[in-house]
Amino acid sequence: MINLINISKNYGENQAVGSINLTIESGETTVLIGPSGCGKSTILRAIIGLISPDAGEINIDGDKLNTTNVTSLRRKMGYVIQEGGLFPNLSALENVSLMASYLGWDKERIDKRIDQLCNLTKYPIDALSRYPIQISGGQRQRLSLMRALMLDPDILLLDEPLGALDPLIRSELQEDLKEIFSTLGKTVVMVTHDIGEAAFFGDKIILIKDGQIVQEGTIYDLAKTPAHPFVTKFINAQRNHLDVIGDL
């Protein structure tokens, strides 16, 4: 579904991503994980065409991403940016329906879709008229997800969608998200810091360090056959986050 071929991105002297090759399979959840600053968000931004790599190419569904087709390819993807990225001056309803209105959907179609999405994400319908500052952190995350799903994209790119939530709400949202992914059969690329979350969601986990892929595979592959001492170090640093550790 998505292919990254030799993708590099530098900011001045600093290499954010260095010659990455990555295949994201259709209908699977691929998790990007690694220390802060290792290039996870940069990879998502490159896939959705918000930044253009210095070298390499990206193929989405067989089409090579370029300046001409970036707008149409972007509509195949729903994106939840790190920190949610909701517009503070728009209501919840306006945030979710912005793109659909822009594309000329009529009110009936928009209302119907929003009703479906409230059910799916368990966002309270009576909170649709509120502004982002007037809803809870968990509701903001649900709203960001609704906005990403509004146009029913095949691909979901989620940058730490459960960022700063308390553990109880986080685990509730994890369960809900997983159910949504499997119900909808989407191709999902999710960024997280948390190895437990990566194990919970990831059909495939990509561990990144300093802009390079250190290892890709299942959580079992990473735990049992680490490609580098860093893999073990990274997993062990978060052992208490990993419920499945007993099975490893």
For residue 175, with 0-12 CB atoms within 10 Å meaning exposed, 13-18 middle and 19 or more buried, which class applies? Answer: exposed
- Write down the least CB distance from residue 133 to ligand ATP, Å: 23
Rounded to 5°, the CA angle 203-178-165 comes to 110
Q: Which of 2, 40, 49, 148 binds ligand ATP (CB under 6 A)?
A: 40
Binding flags for Mg ion, 22-41, as an x/- string (CB under 5 A): -------------------x
CA–CA distance from 229 to each of 19, 21, 202, 214, 243 (Å)? 21, 21, 21, 10, 22
For ligand ATP, give the closer residue by CB, 137 or 163.
163
- Write down the least CB distance from residue 205 to ligand ATP, Å: 15
For ligand ATP, give the closer residue by CB, 43 or 93.
43
42 touches ligand ATP by CB under 6 A: yes
Residues 43-102 that bind Mg ion (CB under 5 A): 82
36 touches ligand ATP by CB under 6 A: yes
38 binds, among Mg ion, ligand ATP, none (CB under 5 to 8 A by kind): ligand ATP
97 touches ligand ATP by CB under 6 A: no
Dist. CA 219–CA 202, nearest whole Å: 8
- Write down the least CB distance from residue 212 to ligand ATP, Å: 12
- Count of positions on this chain that bind ligand ATP (CB under 6 A): 11
Among 221, 246, 214, which residue's Cα sits nearest to residue 33? 214
- Write down the least CB distance from residue 114 to ligand ATP, Å: 30
**Largest CA-CA distance found in the chain, in angstroms, rounded:** 56
Residues 183-222 that bind ligand ATP (CB under 6 A): none
Of the candidate spans 10-18, 137-145, 169-177, 178-186, the one that interacts with ligand ATP by CB under 6 A turns out to be 10-18
Q: Do the Cβ atoms of 66 and 27 come closer than 8 Å?
A: no
For ligand ATP, give the closer residue by CB, 27 or 56.
56
Dist. CA 177–CA 247, nearest whole Å: 24
Q: Rounded to the nearest 10 degrees, what angle do helices 107-121 and 92-102 cross at?
A: 130
Q: Do the Cβ atoms of 96 and 150 come closer than 8 Å?
A: yes
Bridging pattern class, strands 29-33 and 204-209: parallel
Where on the chain is the footprint of ligand ATP (CB under 6 A)?
A: 11, 14, 16, 36-42, 82
